[in-house]
Amino acid sequence: MALSRRTFSALAGSTALGFALGGSGGPGAPSAYAARGVPTGPAPAPPTADGQRHTIGWDNYSLVVDGRRLVLWSGEMHPFRLPSPSLWRDILQKMRAHGYNAVSIYVSWNYHSPAPGHYDFSGIRDLDLFLRMATETGLYVVLRPGPYINAEIDGGGFPGWLTATKGTARTADPTYLAYADEWLTAVNRIARRHLFTEGTGTILLYQIENEYDAHANEPAGRDYMSHLYRKVRADGIDVPLFHNDKGRNGYWIPGSFDTGAERDGWLYGFDGYPSPSQPPPDWGHFGIGGLKGGATASPRTPGFVPEFGGGWFDPWGGVWFDGKGYAESRRTRDAAYERRFYLTNLANGITLHNVYMTFGGTSWGWLPAPVVYTSYDYGAAIDEGRKVTEKIAPMHELGHLLQRVPDFAKLDRAADVHADGLKVYHLTNPDTEAHVYVVRNDGTEEVTSRVPTAAGDLELTVPAHDARLLTTGLSLGGRKLRYCTAQPMMCLTAGRQDIAVFTGRTGEMAHLVLECPSEPYVTRLDAEAAWVYDRNALHVNVPLGKGGLTRVLVERGESETPLLLLFADHATAVRLFPYDTPSGSLLVYGPALLRHAELSGGTVGLTGDLVEQTGLEVWGPRGIESVEWNGRRVPTRLALSKSLVAETLLPGAPEVRLPELGGWRMRTENPEAGPNFDDSRWQAADRTSSFSTTAVPKGRPVLFADDYGFHYGDVWYRGAFTDSAAVEEVSLAYSTGTQGLLMAWLDGEPLGTHRMPVPDDSTVRKGSWADTAVFPVREQLRGPGRHVLSVLVRRMQHDQDGKALDTHKVARGLTAVTFKGASPEVSWRIQGERAADPVRGPQNNGGLFGEREGWHLPGFPDRDWKSVTFPRAERRQGVTWYRTSFRLAVPADVDASVGLVLEDDPYRSYRAQIFLNGWNMGQYINDVGPQHTFVLPNGILRTRGTNTLALAVLSELTTLSGPGQVRLTLLGSAAGGVPVTPVLSPGR
């Protein structure tokens, strides 16, 4: 298949919807299915914006890019969950260095659209900038703009204003489609400038909709998908399109809906988040087959998992992880989980593999859907503070393997193999006759067993709940591997020698056998290795991890090209970085991260990160004589392995000291509770109908916040009435997301606070909660004359619309107000957030008085506020603000990730919005948790300058309120990093 702009133009024809696209044909463009004849060979070069046209095809094995097979090893990150564009490059470079060749991103409609017809792609929303960075990093992009994305984000990505519109979302309703088309037009205007097919960027694949299973077998659903398909094509997007089938239903396979004249432009994909407590599922070659079998639902396209669990999200209260938060998610879905589950996917023919998430980030401000709290760390391989965790090792090893050993792009199921106590998958490459074995232990005890292979029975030990990859018959440059009990990680050519890397557990004995018809000359470069030549084979034994990297040089024999064998345990392997340059490939060993490499004359210029003191070793093209690290010359010597080795150790990251937080100032707010507050500029809440799915009480006004244009954060109500002499109780019906809260006052006197319950295992996915707060009216508050009922509702955002039932339109805020003992006529006014912050966006602010007055902003004059110290212990109902400033002096060449920690007596019922330099970095709920640490991303955080920190604390009347301890913490640091541009000038 070849989908290029020229193909698009030649084959587009008029239809009822405007265009019918032919996705194959054209000069030099092979059919999608002609890829079956593509032999095993080197993968395509890393993608660039080279100005050349490219073709994208596939068969049942893999994608085929420009005639070469490509295994897609992708990681998910969301630019909207890292609101500092400079740091996007940091994550992208870490992904590339650790083996990924693609990045998958959602583009969230609500993040870019504060109002109908308004689309903001500037600043932190600069999609064009992100796509340029991905291209510069050498990563393919899988673009996923919805319109619906889910993603545990407010409304599943639908903008707040869509809740107050007529159309039925996720159907062919013309009102909804008009809005969705407008959104896609805005996204595609940018995306089409970055298409890999056109040589202008690296967008390789494009997803329409997400997990759409509600109307899959109905005309409304098929018409909807057809409309989106044709819309995207009409906008000039000519790369393959796909959908992410939720839970392997066989929905939206090729041919299941009308794609016009185009037949070969659609891939089937499905997602899966299997539990670590169950054996890995077979979603392909070894599974149940048919439409419900995963990859087998579409036998003519390659196995494609647009989302496979790289962790799991955590709800308010942390019931899924016993209140331990994302550390427990990372523990239960650890590196062994990745090996066991991802190798099973590979065995089942899945060659397009995206890990959700690889970097989770932060659902800052009012971005999170009700089901999650602020942190979206996800237990991912790169944590929320951008620190690479131990989970990166399998991703690093497998990613580089799939890019640099081409046999894995074309595998067939082979004869069944059995080993006592182990599950074995056996596959072969029909072109090279290499054999691949995935050997898995699903038990609770380590198992040692003999595994029958094409090279004979091999004894393997597999730890409990882990897996190993075994190969026989692989080509290692000009030589042939008989077998190795350690896992291959890569094979590349650097200069005049081939280099092959093998990896495994620390302490494991690797046994490698190389076919050698003629006796080679072998040099043991490290004492740990042992070797012997016997009966046309070279045997090498190495205890992995002892002394770091172990090197064995094999020369002469049947090949004139030397072969350098490198053996590493997992901790060592993640410090081996291949890098391709126009002059040839490099392999760098030692640093925590290699970001970039380039050759200038005889000098290799390297940039990257150092955490601890380390050595440096570089293999590269002929003629390299010197090495620079982060711009500084490194004295080196030429080693026997034909590498340049640093003569001294490179220093680690210097100590980073953080200040204590003090100098706090305090001011109480919520004047809205008082009877004499001027609400004349507030909107009158007097509407009588709504497009919400929540019924409007008969004969009463609409009180739903969204109907009055207030979509994010807190909302205030003031109801004026006369004569409360007979009022005994007031009942306030309200609807919120998880952990919503309501506070009420009558004539400035608190009536009480009501909150939604902490979710348990059965309600954790419940996105909309409705209840009625009933407050008695004390006798001293009753009487004739004018009275004001003031209500503050923390809404906790909109439900997602996973079942396409318009659940994002469930009301937020008050829904009905009744009285016992009397029925006064109430005149209601409502106030929420002001116009969207032009830089921080619509999700940054809610309707608190302090937010409307700018109390969260740097430069706000707070000298007349009361000086206080922490911990605090106060009892009041309402909102109290605390502000302070602090200065950091992190060295310019150090990347320090900093967090804010809040801790207090868990009995105390209060919550705090955290504002750093005006940015709403999240919500802390003291008695619910589990989150206590909040990441402060560089760029928003001034690591070399003064910062303003503000806390808006909502205190309940039932307990004493804090804050207790508030402190800064260092989440990680490295010498290196990327240049960081402040997101907003300090004066704003």
Estimate to the nearest angstrom the gap between the alpha carbon of 676 and the chain centroid: 48
Work out the pLDDT band at 459, boundaries 50, 70, 90.
very high
With beta carbons less than 8 A apart as the criterion, state whether 76 and 354 touch.
yes
The number of beta carbons lying within 10 Å of the beta carbon of residue 761 is 9
CA distance 321 to 214: 30
State the average pLDDT over residues 265-284.
97
pLDDT 10s digits, 511-521: 999 999 999 99
Q: Write the DSSP string, 522-546.
A: EEE-STT-EEEEETTEEEEEEETBT
DSSP H helices in 142-218: 174-191
Which pair of tokens denotes residue 185?
A: 């037009």
Residue 625 class from Cβ within 10 Å (0-12 exposed, 13-18 middle, 19+ buried)?
A: exposed
- Cis amide bond preceding 79, omega within 30: no
Task: Report whether pLDDT(279) > 50.
Answer: yes
First vs last C-alpha separation in the chain:
51
Three-state secondary structure readout of 15-59: CCCCCECCCCCCCCCCCHHHHHHCCCCCCCCCCCCCCCCCCEEEC
CA distance 767 to 797: 9
Task: Report whether pLDDT(666) > 90.
Answer: yes
pLDDT 10s digits, 137-149: 999 999 999 999 9
Which run of H or E residues covers position 953?
A: strand 944-955
Estimate to the nearest angstrom the gap between the alpha carbon of 161 and the chain centroid: 25
Handedness of CA 158, 163, 168, 173 (dihedral sign): negative
Task: Report whether pLDDT(406) > 50.
Answer: yes
Closest listed residue to residue 485, CA positions, set 505, 466, 463? 505
With beta carbons less than 8 A apart as the criterion, state whether 202 and 196 touch.
yes
Q: Are strands 537-543 and 550-555 parallel, antiparallel or unpaired?
A: unpaired
What dihedral angle (degrees, nearest 10) is formed by the CA atoms of 464, 341, 135, 623? 40
Residue 784 class from Cβ within 10 Å (0-12 exposed, 13-18 middle, 19+ buried)?
A: exposed
Counting Cα atoms < 13 Å in the Cβ hemisphere of 762 gives 0
pLDDT of residue 31: 38
Place of tokens 């899959």: 216
Closest listed residue to residue 419, CA positions, set 450, 455, 465? 450
pLDDT of residue 263: 87
pLDDT of residue 681: 97
Which run of H or E residues covers position 130?
A: helix 127-137
pLDDT 10s digits, 69-114: 999 999 999 999 999 999 999 999 999 999 999 999 999 999 999 9
Strand partners, 488: 502
Which pair of tokens denotes residue 35?
A: 């890829």
Work out the pLDDT band at 723, boundaries 50, 70, 90.
confident
Strand partners, 578: 587
DSSP H helices in 174-325: 174-191, 219-234
Buried b or exposed e, range 791-808, using 16+ CB within 10 angstroms: bbbbbbbbbbbbebebbb
With beta carbons less than 8 A apart as the criterion, state whether 769 and 799 touch.
no
What dihedral angle (degrees, nearest 10) is formed by the CA atoms of 971, 973, 977, 981? 60
State residue 230 phi and psi, 5-degree precision: -70, -35
Beta strand extents in 826-909 (DSSP E only): 827-831, 866-868, 878-889, 894-903
Task: Report whether pLDDT(767) > 70.
Answer: yes
pLDDT 10s digits, 189-205: 999 999 999 999 999 99
Task: Report whether pLDDT(29) > 70.
Answer: no
Task: Report whether pLDDT(854) > 90.
Answer: yes
Estimate to the nearest angstrom the gap between the alpha carbon of 503 and the chain centroid: 27
Kindly give, in sequence order, each residue whose CB lies less than 8 Å from that of residue 638, ignoring residues fewer than 6 positions away.
644, 645
pLDDT of residue 35: 56
Task: Report whether pLDDT(34) > 50.
Answer: no
Q: Are strands 102-106 and 140-144 parallel, antiparallel or unpaired?
A: parallel
CA distance 330 to 438: 23
Secondary structure of residue 271 in the 3-state scheme = strand
- Cis amide bond preceding 871, omega within 30: yes
State the average pLDDT over residues 358-377.
98
DSSP H helices in 348-466: 392-404
> CA angle at residue 901 from 895 to 907, to 5 degrees?
165
Estimate to the nearest angstrom the gap between the alpha carbon of 164 and the chain centroid: 29
The average confidence (pLDDT) of the chain is 94
Secondary structure of residue 905 in the 3-state scheme = coil
Buried b or exposed e, range 715-737, using 16+ CB within 10 angstroms: bbbbbbbeebeebeebebbbbbb
Secondary structure of residue 160 in the 3-state scheme = helix
Work out the pLDDT band at 2, boundaries 50, 70, 90.
very low
Which pair of tokens denotes residue 372?
A: 């999650």
Place of tokens 């969207």: 836
pLDDT of residue 985: 55
pLDDT of residue 36: 60
Q: Write the DSSP string, 337-382.
A: HHHHHHHHHHHTTEEEEEEE-SB--B--TT-B-TTS-SB--TT-SB
State the average pLDDT over residues 867-890.
97
CA distance 633 to 483: 41
CA distance 614 to 628: 15
Beta strand extents in 416-486 (DSSP E only): 423-428, 435-441, 447-453, 456-462, 466-472, 475-476, 479-484
State the average pLDDT over residues 171-188.
98
pLDDT 10s digits, 92-101: 999 999 999 9
> CA angle at residue 430 from 424 to 433, to 5 degrees?
70
pLDDT of residue 98: 98
pLDDT of residue 7: 31
pLDDT 10s digits, 474-491: 999 999 999 999 999 999
Work out the pLDDT band at 684, boundaries 50, 70, 90.
very high
Radius of gyration of the chain (CA): 30
pLDDT 10s digits, 698-715: 999 999 999 999 999 999
Beta strand extents in 477-583 (DSSP E only): 479-484, 487-494, 497-504, 509-515, 521-524, 530-534, 537-543, 550-555, 563-569, 576-581
Q: Across the chain, which distance is largest between two alpha carbons, in Å?
A: 108
CA distance 115 to 185: 16
pLDDT of residue 4: 35
Least confident interval from 19-23, 317-321, 445-449: 19-23
Buried b or exposed e, range 252-269, using 16+ CB within 10 angstroms: bbbebbebbebbbbbbbb
Least confident interval from 30-44, 243-257, 551-565: 30-44
Which pair of tokens denotes residue 335?
A: 């590196």
Three-state secondary structure readout of 233-258: HHCCCCCCEEEEECCCCCCCCCCCCC
Share of the chain above pLDDT 90, in %: 95
Which pair of tokens denotes residue 673?
A: 């509770």
